[in-house]
Protein backbone atom coordinates (compact mmCIF):
# COMPACT_ATOMS: atom_id res chain seq x y z
CA UNK A 1 0.00 0.00 0.00
CA UNK A 2 3.03 2.28 0.11
CA UNK A 3 2.59 2.94 -3.60
CA UNK A 4 -0.85 4.55 -3.11
CA UNK A 5 0.55 8.02 -2.16
CA UNK A 6 2.82 7.95 -5.23
CA UNK A 7 -0.14 7.11 -7.47
CA UNK A 8 -2.13 9.92 -5.82
CA UNK A 9 0.61 12.46 -6.55
CA UNK A 10 0.89 11.27 -10.15
CA UNK A 11 -2.87 11.60 -10.64
CA UNK A 12 -2.86 15.11 -9.18
CA UNK A 13 -0.04 16.18 -11.50
CA UNK A 14 -1.79 14.68 -14.53
CA UNK A 15 -5.07 16.42 -13.68
CA UNK A 16 -3.28 19.76 -13.27
CA UNK A 17 -1.49 19.31 -16.60
CA UNK A 18 -4.83 18.61 -18.28
CA UNK A 19 -6.03 22.03 -17.12
CA UNK A 20 -8.42 21.22 -14.31
CA UNK A 21 -8.71 23.85 -11.54
CA UNK A 22 -6.34 23.32 -8.63
CA UNK A 23 -9.02 23.34 -5.93
CA UNK A 24 -11.21 20.75 -7.64
CA UNK A 25 -8.18 18.64 -8.56
CA UNK A 26 -6.83 18.41 -5.02
CA UNK A 27 -10.22 17.80 -3.43
CA UNK A 28 -11.55 15.48 -6.14
CA UNK A 29 -8.52 13.18 -6.36
CA UNK A 30 -8.29 12.97 -2.57
CA UNK A 31 -11.94 11.99 -2.19
CA UNK A 32 -11.68 9.55 -5.10
CA UNK A 33 -8.70 7.76 -3.57
CA UNK A 34 -10.39 7.78 -0.16
CA UNK A 35 -13.43 6.04 -1.64
CA UNK A 36 -11.21 3.52 -3.38
CA UNK A 37 -9.33 2.95 -0.15
CA UNK A 38 -12.56 2.42 1.77
CA UNK A 39 -13.72 -0.13 -0.81
CA UNK A 40 -10.41 -2.04 -0.54
CA UNK A 41 -10.31 -1.84 3.29
CA UNK A 42 -7.14 0.22 3.71
CA UNK A 43 -8.93 3.49 4.52
CA UNK A 44 -11.25 4.04 7.47
CA UNK A 45 -14.55 5.54 6.24
CA UNK A 46 -15.07 7.17 9.65
CA UNK A 47 -12.34 9.65 8.75
CA UNK A 48 -14.83 11.31 6.40
CA UNK A 49 -16.59 12.58 9.53
CA UNK A 50 -13.54 14.69 10.39
CA UNK A 51 -13.78 16.74 7.19
CA UNK A 52 -16.13 19.40 8.67
CA UNK A 53 -13.87 19.71 11.72
CA UNK A 54 -10.87 20.14 9.44
CA UNK A 55 -12.63 22.79 7.36
CA UNK A 56 -13.67 24.82 10.40
CA UNK A 57 -10.18 24.41 11.85
CA UNK A 58 -8.69 25.99 8.74
CA UNK A 59 -11.33 28.74 8.76
CA UNK A 60 -10.42 29.59 12.35
CA UNK A 61 -6.69 29.69 11.60
CA UNK A 62 -5.66 33.31 12.03
CA UNK A 63 -2.37 32.84 10.16
CA UNK A 64 -4.01 31.67 6.93
CA UNK A 65 -6.18 34.81 6.91
CA UNK A 66 -3.19 36.58 5.38
CA UNK A 67 -3.44 34.53 2.15
CA UNK A 68 -6.57 36.18 0.65
CA UNK A 69 -5.24 39.55 1.79
CA UNK A 70 -2.01 39.00 -0.15
CA UNK A 71 -4.01 37.95 -3.21
CA UNK A 72 -6.12 41.10 -2.92
CA UNK A 73 -2.98 43.26 -2.70
CA UNK A 74 -1.56 41.60 -5.81
CA UNK A 75 -4.74 42.07 -7.83
CA UNK A 76 -5.04 45.73 -6.83
CA UNK A 77 -1.43 46.51 -7.75
CA UNK A 78 -1.78 44.64 -11.03
CA UNK A 79 -4.84 46.69 -11.99
CA UNK A 80 -3.23 49.96 -10.91
CA UNK A 81 -0.64 49.80 -13.69
CA UNK A 82 2.31 50.15 -11.33
CA UNK A 83 4.27 47.46 -13.19
CA UNK A 84 4.12 49.34 -16.49
CA UNK A 85 5.28 52.58 -14.83
CA UNK A 86 8.13 50.83 -13.05
CA UNK A 87 9.28 49.01 -16.18
CA UNK A 88 9.23 52.17 -18.27
CA UNK A 89 11.24 54.21 -15.75
CA UNK A 90 13.78 51.42 -15.17
CA UNK A 91 14.18 50.99 -18.93
CA UNK A 92 14.92 54.71 -19.19
CA UNK A 93 17.59 54.39 -16.52
CA UNK A 94 19.37 51.47 -18.23
CA UNK A 95 18.63 52.36 -21.86
CA UNK A 96 22.31 53.14 -22.56
CA UNK A 97 23.52 49.96 -20.86
CA UNK A 98 24.06 46.66 -22.62
CA UNK A 99 21.43 44.16 -21.39
CA UNK A 100 19.63 47.15 -19.89
CA UNK A 101 16.17 45.77 -20.60
CA UNK A 102 16.92 42.44 -18.91
CA UNK A 103 18.33 44.27 -15.88
CA UNK A 104 15.20 46.40 -15.72
CA UNK A 105 12.95 43.33 -15.88
CA UNK A 106 14.82 41.62 -13.04
CA UNK A 107 14.65 44.69 -10.80
CA UNK A 108 10.99 45.35 -11.55
CA UNK A 109 10.17 41.67 -11.07
CA UNK A 110 11.88 41.68 -7.68
CA UNK A 111 9.96 44.80 -6.62
CA UNK A 112 6.67 43.31 -7.81
CA UNK A 113 7.43 40.05 -6.02
CA UNK A 114 8.09 41.91 -2.80
CA UNK A 115 4.91 43.95 -3.26
CA UNK A 116 2.42 41.27 -4.31
CA UNK A 117 3.72 37.98 -2.95
CA UNK A 118 1.97 35.98 -5.68
CA UNK A 119 3.52 34.46 -8.78
CA UNK A 120 0.65 34.52 -11.27
CA UNK A 121 0.13 38.26 -11.34
CA UNK A 122 3.87 38.91 -11.69
CA UNK A 123 4.44 36.43 -14.51
CA UNK A 124 1.40 37.50 -16.52
CA UNK A 125 2.11 41.20 -16.10
CA UNK A 126 5.81 40.95 -16.91
CA UNK A 127 5.19 38.54 -19.79
CA UNK A 128 2.66 40.77 -21.52
CA UNK A 129 4.75 43.91 -21.16
CA UNK A 130 8.38 42.82 -21.43
CA UNK A 131 8.45 39.68 -23.57
CA UNK A 132 7.51 41.38 -26.88
CA UNK A 133 9.98 44.18 -26.18
CA UNK A 134 12.80 41.74 -25.47
CA UNK A 135 12.15 39.76 -28.65
CA UNK A 136 11.96 42.96 -30.68
CA UNK A 137 15.25 44.18 -29.24
CA UNK A 138 17.03 40.98 -30.24
CA UNK A 139 17.04 38.74 -27.19
CA UNK A 140 16.65 35.02 -27.85
CA UNK A 141 13.30 33.37 -27.20
CA UNK A 142 14.87 30.96 -24.72
CA UNK A 143 16.52 33.70 -22.66
CA UNK A 144 13.48 35.99 -22.78
CA UNK A 145 10.93 33.41 -21.67
CA UNK A 146 13.30 31.97 -19.06
CA UNK A 147 14.03 35.42 -17.63
CA UNK A 148 10.34 36.29 -17.30
CA UNK A 149 9.49 32.92 -15.74
CA UNK A 150 12.44 33.01 -13.32
CA UNK A 151 11.76 36.60 -12.31
CA UNK A 152 8.10 35.80 -11.71
CA UNK A 153 8.96 33.03 -9.26
CA UNK A 154 10.71 35.51 -6.98
CA UNK A 155 7.32 36.03 -5.37
CA UNK A 156 7.78 32.66 -3.64
CA UNK A 157 10.90 33.66 -1.69
CA UNK A 158 10.98 37.45 -1.33
CA UNK A 159 8.83 38.42 1.66
CA UNK A 160 5.99 39.01 2.10
CA UNK A 161 5.05 35.77 0.34
CA UNK A 162 2.01 33.49 0.38
CA UNK A 163 4.27 30.43 0.29
CA UNK A 164 6.02 31.61 3.45
CA UNK A 165 2.68 32.15 5.17
CA UNK A 166 1.61 28.57 4.41
CA UNK A 167 5.01 27.19 5.40
CA UNK A 168 4.92 29.20 8.62
CA UNK A 169 1.65 27.61 9.67
CA UNK A 170 2.85 24.08 8.86
CA UNK A 171 6.27 24.53 10.46
CA UNK A 172 4.82 26.08 13.61
CA UNK A 173 2.53 23.10 14.18
CA UNK A 174 5.30 20.59 13.38
CA UNK A 175 7.79 22.34 15.67
CA UNK A 176 5.33 22.39 18.57
CA UNK A 177 4.52 18.72 18.02
CA UNK A 178 8.22 17.84 18.00
CA UNK A 179 8.77 19.70 21.27
CA UNK A 180 5.85 17.81 22.83
CA UNK A 181 7.40 14.51 21.78
CA UNK A 182 10.68 15.59 23.36
CA UNK A 183 8.97 16.47 26.63
CA UNK A 184 9.51 20.23 26.26
CA UNK A 185 6.37 21.96 27.51
CA UNK A 186 7.64 25.56 27.59
CA UNK A 187 7.43 25.65 23.84
CA UNK A 188 8.88 28.08 21.34
CA UNK A 189 7.14 28.74 18.04
CA UNK A 190 8.30 29.40 14.50
CA UNK A 191 6.22 32.35 13.34
CA UNK A 192 5.57 33.65 9.86
CA UNK A 193 7.53 36.75 10.80
CA UNK A 194 10.59 34.60 11.48
CA UNK A 195 10.34 33.15 7.98
CA UNK A 196 9.89 36.63 6.49
CA UNK A 197 13.06 37.85 8.19
CA UNK A 198 14.98 34.72 7.25
CA UNK A 199 14.00 34.96 3.57
CA UNK A 200 15.21 38.52 3.01
CA UNK A 201 18.89 37.70 2.46
CA UNK A 202 18.28 34.61 0.25
CA UNK A 203 15.85 36.64 -1.86
CA UNK A 204 18.41 39.40 -2.36
CA UNK A 205 21.11 36.86 -3.25
CA UNK A 206 18.84 35.27 -5.88
CA UNK A 207 18.16 38.67 -7.46
CA UNK A 208 21.89 39.45 -7.51
CA UNK A 209 22.55 36.06 -9.10
CA UNK A 210 19.97 36.78 -11.81
CA UNK A 211 21.60 40.14 -12.53
CA UNK A 212 25.09 38.65 -12.76
CA UNK A 213 23.89 35.89 -15.08
CA UNK A 214 21.97 38.28 -17.37
CA UNK A 215 24.96 40.62 -17.67
CA UNK A 216 27.44 37.78 -18.19
CA UNK A 217 25.42 35.83 -20.77
CA UNK A 218 24.81 38.96 -22.90
CA UNK A 219 28.19 40.65 -22.43
CA UNK A 220 29.29 40.29 -26.07
CA UNK A 221 25.90 40.83 -27.71
CA UNK A 222 24.57 43.98 -29.30
CA UNK A 223 20.88 44.75 -29.08
CA UNK A 224 18.69 47.13 -31.02
CA UNK A 225 17.79 50.39 -29.28
CA UNK A 226 14.58 50.29 -27.32
CA UNK A 227 11.87 52.21 -29.17
CA UNK A 228 8.97 54.10 -27.66
CA UNK A 229 10.83 54.92 -24.44
CA UNK A 230 11.31 58.65 -24.09
CA UNK A 231 11.39 61.24 -21.36
CA UNK A 232 13.10 61.36 -17.98
CA UNK A 233 12.94 58.66 -15.36
CA UNK A 234 11.68 59.54 -11.91
CA UNK A 235 13.33 56.86 -9.79
CA UNK A 236 12.03 58.20 -6.49
CA UNK A 237 8.43 58.21 -7.72
CA UNK A 238 8.90 54.74 -9.18
CA UNK A 239 10.50 53.01 -6.21
CA UNK A 240 8.65 54.79 -3.41
CA UNK A 241 5.26 52.97 -3.75
CA UNK A 242 6.58 49.39 -3.60
CA UNK A 243 9.15 50.32 -0.94
CA UNK A 244 6.44 51.93 1.19
CA UNK A 245 4.22 48.87 0.81
CA UNK A 246 7.04 46.52 1.85
CA UNK A 247 7.89 48.64 4.88
CA UNK A 248 4.21 48.79 5.78
CA UNK A 249 3.75 45.01 5.63
CA UNK A 250 7.06 43.81 7.04
CA UNK A 251 7.49 46.58 9.60
CA UNK A 252 4.03 46.28 11.10
CA UNK A 253 4.30 42.51 10.98
CA UNK A 254 7.50 42.67 13.05
CA UNK A 255 6.14 45.23 15.52
CA UNK A 256 2.82 43.46 16.16
CA UNK A 257 4.09 40.16 17.52
CA UNK A 258 5.07 38.96 14.03
CA UNK A 259 1.47 38.40 13.03
CA UNK A 260 1.14 38.85 9.24
CA UNK A 261 -2.56 39.72 9.32
CA UNK A 262 -2.18 43.24 10.68
CA UNK A 263 0.52 44.10 8.18
CA UNK A 264 -1.63 42.70 5.38
CA UNK A 265 -4.65 44.77 6.43
CA UNK A 266 -2.52 47.90 6.39
CA UNK A 267 -1.03 46.85 3.04
CA UNK A 268 -4.51 46.42 1.53
CA UNK A 269 -5.52 49.84 2.84
CA UNK A 270 -2.37 51.32 1.28
CA UNK A 271 -3.08 49.61 -2.07
CA UNK A 272 -6.63 50.98 -2.19
CA UNK A 273 -5.39 54.49 -1.45
CA UNK A 274 -2.71 54.17 -4.13
CA UNK A 275 -5.35 52.99 -6.57
CA UNK A 276 -7.50 56.00 -5.82
CA UNK A 277 -4.53 58.34 -6.17
CA UNK A 278 -3.90 56.92 -9.64
CA UNK A 279 -7.62 57.30 -10.50
CA UNK A 280 -7.78 53.75 -11.77
CA UNK A 281 -9.98 52.13 -9.14
Of 174 and 2, which is predicted with more confidence? 174
| Tens-place pLDDT, residues 88-104 | 777 777 777 777 888 88
- Burial class of residue 21 (count of CB atoms within 10 Å of its CB; 0-12, 13-18, 19+): exposed
**Residues 215-234, mean pLDDT to the nearest whole number:** 71
Structure confidence at residue 281 as a pLDDT band (50, 70, 90): very low
Element (H, E) at 245: helix 235-246
Report which of residues 244 and 8 the model is more confident about: 8
Higher pLDDT, 218 or 94: 218
Q: Read off the pLDDT of residues 233-259 as tens digits, 9 standing for 90 and up.
A: 566 777 777 777 777 776 666 555 556
How high is the pLDDT of residue 205? Answer: 93
Residue 247: predicted pLDDT: 72
Phi and psi at residue 246, to the nearest 5°: -65, -45
User: So what's the pLDDT on residue 257?
Assistant: 54
Whether residue 271 has pLDDT greater than 90: no
Model pLDDT, residue 62? 75
What is the pLDDT, as a whole number, of residue 99?
A: 79
Kindly state the average pLDDT of the residues 148-163: 81
Which stretch of 24-38, 154-168, 235-249 has the lowest confidence by average pLDDT?
Answer: 235-249
Q: Mean pLDDT of all residues in the chain?
A: 78
Q: What is the pLDDT of residue 175?
A: 81
Distance in angstroms (rounded) separating the CA atoms of residues 213 and 223: 17
Of 138, 165, 161, residue with least CA distance to 220 = 138
Per-residue pLDDT tens for 74-92?
777 777 777 777 777 777 7
Residues 6 or more apart whose CB falls under 8 angstroms from that of 207 comprise 106, 107, 110, 154, 158
Query: If pLDDT is split at 50, 70 and 90, which confidence band does 105 have?
Result: confident
The pLDDT value recorded for residue 227 is: 61
Q: H or E stretch including 160? A: none
State pLDDT tens for residues 184-216.
Answer: 777 677 777 778 778 889 989 999 999 999 989
Q: Which residues contact 50 (CB under 8 A, 6 or more apart)?
A: none
Rounded distance, CA 101 to CA 94, Å? Answer: 7
For the entire predicted model, the pTM comes to: 0.74
Say yes or no to pLDDT of 127 above 90: no
| pLDDT at res. 206 | 93
Q: Nearest to residue 202, comparing CAs of 241, 164, 168, 157?
A: 157
Amino acid sequence: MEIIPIILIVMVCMALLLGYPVAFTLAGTSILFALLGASFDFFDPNLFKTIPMRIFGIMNNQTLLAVPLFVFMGVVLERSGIAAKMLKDMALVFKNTNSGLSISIIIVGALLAASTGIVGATVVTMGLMSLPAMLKQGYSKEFSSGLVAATGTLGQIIPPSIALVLLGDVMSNAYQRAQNNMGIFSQETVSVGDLFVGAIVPGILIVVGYLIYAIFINRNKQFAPLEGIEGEANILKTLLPPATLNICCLGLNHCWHRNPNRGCWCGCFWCINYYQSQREL
